[in-house]
Structure 1
Amino acid sequence: MNKKLNIGACFILFVSNVLLSQNITGNFVNLVNHEIKLEGFNGLKTYSISSTTTDEKGNFQFSYSKSDYGVGYLITDENKPFFVILSGEEIEINGKALSYPETIKITNGEENEWFEKYAKEFPRREQALSAWAYLEKIYTLDSLFAIQKTALIAIQGEKKRIKEEDNFFLKGLPTESYVKWFLPTRKLVSSVSTVAQYRPEEVPETINDFRELDYKDPRLYKSGLLKDAIENHFWLLENSDKSLDKVFEEMKVSIDTLLENLAPNEKIFNEVMDYLFDLLEKQSLFQASEYLALKVLNEVSCTIDNNLARQLETYRVMKKGNIAPNIFFDKSSFFNKSNTINKLSDVEAKYTVVAFGASWCPKCNEELPSIVNLYTKWKSKGVEVIFIALEDNQKSFTDFTENFPFLSYSDLKKWDCKIVSDYYVFSTPTIFLLDRKREIILRPNSINQLDAWVDWNLKE
């Protein structure tokens, strides 16, 4: 009896999945017996939905399910993606090949037809708006043209007409359709550089629109826009033609808004915060990344992923102005040269650079050789260097550090090294500049930044 029930349940589940799945069919005449993949988005990552091989005439068919609803893309080994709206409708696509997008037509699927139409018209409207905005400034500010009131009124009228035409199209989309949400969001994300360059008067409104985005919305998570929304939001803040202090104040507001919005969803919270922190670090926006780190660590309504928590903890424990832990050198470990000190506090230089890196780290192989070239100059200005190598092999350590003129050390425990743990190192290279009291003076993002500090602050 139970066996029959199980078979029946499996059959019902199978039928349900079939009924809930939709097809993408079509023909690419130039892609005969060729593999095509259908990919989807999950937050900042992509995943494989399906793959197929075209027949001898270029025909193909995919299936996608309700769990894939959002945006997907077709791709071949030519690496030319073609985006589609996976909204639960049957889709038909025809053309020569993905590498010839101008030949591709949506022949079935209303939402994809609307998407295709808007994708072609929106860039042209944006270009026209930017051109009219440029002319409007000339006819407003240039005394040679400012007297031409009729022309100015015509320019302003055309700007208004273009915006109304765009809004009319978007408002006309069915309320329940995915594109009703997706197209305005895509418009917001994709127009950032144009707004900053040609229509700066729209910057405050655009920043506000980013802050009002629901970053935990499943539609955004499946849209392929999440990464661009984060990047473009903070790029616009950074390039809003305001003082650096004002930029950081605006970033704090945006960070607070994001934290409040994402706190109810721990998975997306951790994913977005991790990405945003790395983004701010790479852009050398350290004041903003420190603010983000401390805010996230103090966020009690959400469980922070262990890796993210450790990465952020470095800003609380190892922030500028704090005293760095003393480093005790185990005589049984490995040094690249004769060592006369037992601990970091034995170093008599006015300043000490403590650098963490490894032979297996590509960035370290780019950055650390420049320390070798700068060491003589730094040492003449009272700056010593201590290198902590995250190695697990003596030969790798010896080969990597044999030409370093400064003290290099490794206990061959890699990430399990106590010094690495004490300094909250989560990536390589990581660099700290300390004074004689081991106060953290600088956490440079690059050797160039550190060298600039030396040149500026230690002038002869």
Structure 2
Amino acid sequence: MKKILIGCLFVSIFANAQFTFKGTINNYPNKRVIIKLNKSLDGIVIGNLTTDANGKFSLPVKENYTGVVEMSLFDAKKNYSFLADNSNIDFQAEITADGDLEVSNPGNLINYKYKDFINYEIKNGDILSQLKLIKNWYNPKDEFYKSLDKEITNISSTKKIDIDNYPFLNYYVEAMKLVKDSEANPTQKSLNSLLNHFKNSGEYFETSGLGKSLIYNYLNISSSLASSSSKTQAEWQEKFDHSIENLLNEVDTETDRGQNILAVTINFLNTYELKDLLTKYMKKAESLTCKITPELSEVIYVNNSIKEGGKVPNIKFTRKLNGKYSSLYDLKNKYKLILVWASWCGHCQHEMPRVKEFYENFKKSGGEIIGLAVDYDENDWKNAIKELPWLNDSDLLYWDSQFVKELNISGTPTLILVDSNNKILKISSKISEISKEIK
């Protein structure tokens, strides 16, 4: 009976952990690590860990996954990518004096192969061309000339790294090249190459961590080409709109990919406040009669809710604020002002004295401010809120914070004024605009 139970336990553990992502960062003890997988063109947090005294951490990934694993350290502004092919990753690294991550052991075969490939490309690209230029400045009889000539010969004779046996690596390299080429050459040819990629690439497009960059490149190039050939704003908008229509027709919005590309497009239009186009493509999304992907469904919901006249969602706090408020709806004030900010945000620091001045009378009129910080470092956040008299919270996940998605935040500061029924009265980046709504 014991053997059967042990066997069942082993099978259960194996079934629940497809592979393990772990690492040792030698000079990074007792510090946070955030791990994300890329799914449906978005990074999903699967681990918020703390390294041990030796800088080690380990995270079981409980699903079959081929794609990019992103790791964030320090202030979460630095992301490091590892390629995952559903096999264990066990890397070794250390933090350099400049604050970068220097990886000595990439962790598994696909990451070793990627490291070798990148080294080959760098040496046979910029380094080789620079060495040849430098060599021209020396006499063939010079020892340094001979050393240069030897290194040039060594690099030139190095066999190209074969990555054909690594399908995801092959895709990733090609997609990365397309990202760089389309950024460097914003032409109709690049637009066509991007469109062809969206239509014909396999499932790695969604998990590579590059999909959103490729879509943004398409939209930015479309906008640029429309601008260069237009005399009026209306003409530009018409041409830009035509390019978006062409994209969505080609990828087919009744497919998962088409809907996820539509979701990214809507967020792009919202970020740049292109209201007419945003309204059009929101209506397009809402009119779909097929099954809607969760990603597009969330975008529709958030864009319909987070606007003046909409109802703010019930944001859950990470702890009980003032010992009694677990969520936004627990506050029954006449007015609530949601202040989305960050300790590192210069514009926030500029606005904060005005917010403090506003708060005294706002509090007397039955209002309360709830500060939600897009922060990562706990000490920075705690130091920043010492002088703030209102309620404050942060899950310390930077732009991966849940409230960022729920409130459709694209920049800081963002101020959202709601009434006692949680109806949104005003959204602004300036407290002066908010104060006009208080009666």
**Normalised by the size of structure 1, how large is the TM-score?**
0.50
1:337 maps to which residue?
none
Give the Cα–Cα distance (whole angstroms) in 2 for the partners of residues 47 and 310 of structure 1.
Answer: 20
For residue 38 of structure 1, what is the amino acid of its counterpart? Answer: I
- Matched AA of 2:194: F
Residue 210 of structure 2 corresponds to 225
Q: What is the 5 A alignment of 1:159-198? A: 172-174=162-164, 176-196=166-186
- Partner residue in 2 for 1:277: 266
Please tell me the residue identity of whatever aligns with 2:70: Y
Counterpart residue identity of residue 174, structure 1: D
TM-superposed deviation, 1:6:
9.4
Provide Cα deviations, 1:17-46, integer angstroms capped at 9, x if missing partner. Answer: 45x324544x43322454444332233233
Task: Output the aligned Cα RMSD.
Answer: 5.1
- Tell me the distance in 2 between the aligned counterparts of 1:221 and 1:174: 21
Contact 2:30 2:53 (8 Å CA) reproduced: yes
1:258 to 248, 270, 281: 248
Q: What's 1:295 paired with?
A: 284
Which has the larger share of strand? 2
- 1:181 maps to a residue whose letter is Y
| Closer, same or farther: CA 282–8 of 1 in aligned 2, 3 Å | same
Is residue 2:297 matched to residue 1:308? no
The correspondence for 1:242, drawn from 217, 228, 236, is 228
C-alpha displacement at 1:234, in angstroms? Answer: 0.7
> Is contact 1:39-1:73 (8 Å) kept?
yes
Aligned partner of 2:35 among 27, 35, 38: 38
Q: Does the 8 Å CA contact 2:72/2:79 hold for their aligned counterparts?
A: yes
In structure 1, how many angstroms separate the alpha carbons of the residues matched to 2:242 and 2:160?
35
Pairing 1:418-437 to 2, within 5 Å after superposition: 428=427
Q: 1:205 matched to which residue of 2? A: 189
CA contact (8 A) 1:262 1:269 kept: yes
If each structure's helix is expressed as a fraction of its own residues, which one has the higher value? 1
User: What are the equivalent positions in structure 2 for 1:34-433 lying under 5 Å apart?
Assistant: 34-42=31-39, 43-49=41-47, 51=49, 53-56=51-54, 58-77=55-74, 79=76, 80-97=78-95, 100-101=99-100, 103-106=102-105, 108-119=107-118, 172-174=162-164, 176-196=166-186, 203-214=187-198, 218-240=203-225, 242-244=228-230, 245=235, 248-258=238-248, 261=251, 263-265=253-255, 272-303=261-292, 305=297, 308=300, 311=303, 360=337, 395-396=366-367, 413-415=421-423, 428=427
The separation in 2 between residues aligned to 1:313 and 1:28, in whole angstroms, is 43
TM-superposed CA distance for 1:236, in Å, is 1.6
Q: Any conservation in 1 of the 2:92–2:107 contact (CA below 8 Å)? A: no
SS of equivalent to 1:183: helix
For 2:206, give the aligned amino acid.
Y
Structure 1 residues 284 and 179, CA, compared in 2 at 3 Å: closer, same or farther?
Answer: same
**1:40–1:49: 8 Å Cα contact kept in structure 2?**
no
In structure 2, the residue matched to 1:29 is 26
Query: How far apart are residue 217 of structure 1 and its match?
Result: 5.1
Cα deviation 1:264-307 (Å, max 9, x = unaligned): 445x6665434422321332444533442343344333447387
Residues 19 and 88, structure 2, Cα contact 8 Å, conserved in 1: no
State the shift of 1:192 in Å.
3.4
Mapped contact 1:361–1:428 kept (Cα < 8 A): no
Q: What's the offset of the Cα at 1:62?
A: 4.4
The one-letter code matched in structure 1 to 2:212 is: K
**How far 1:5 sits from its partner (Å)?**
9.2
The C-alpha deviation readout for 1:77-128, integer Å capped at 9, x for no partner, is 3533321111123434333227654732335523212333455666788879
Q: Is the 8 A contact 1:22 1:89 kept in 2?
A: yes
**Closer, same or farther in 2 for the Cα pair 1:309/1:77, shift >3 Å?**
closer
Alpha-carbon distance between aligned partners in 2 of 1:250 and 1:181, rounded to the nearest angstrom? 29
Counterpart of 1:221, as a letter, is: E
Give secondary structure in 2 for the equivalent of 1:71. Answer: strand
Could you list the per-position Cα deviations for residues 349-393 of structure 1 after superposition, in whole angstroms to 9, with x for gaps in the alignment? Answer: xxxxxxxxx872659xx9xxxxxxxxxxxxxxxxxxxxxxxx9x9
**8 Å contact 1:255–1:292 — kept in the other structure?**
no
TM-score normalised by length of structure 2: 0.52
2-side partners of 1:239 and 1:24: how far apart?
Answer: 43
Query: Cα gap change, 1:48/1:270 in structure 2, threshold over 3 Å: closer, same or farther?
Result: same
Q: Could you tell me whether the CA contact under 8 Å between 2:163 and 2:169 is conserved in 1?
A: yes
3-state SS of 2:222 partner: helix
3-state SS, counterpart of residue 277 of structure 1? helix
Residues 1:100 and 1:106: Cα distance change in structure 2 (over 3 Å): farther
CA contact (8 A) 1:50 1:63 kept: no
Q: Which is higher, the Rg of structure 1 or of structure 2?
A: 1
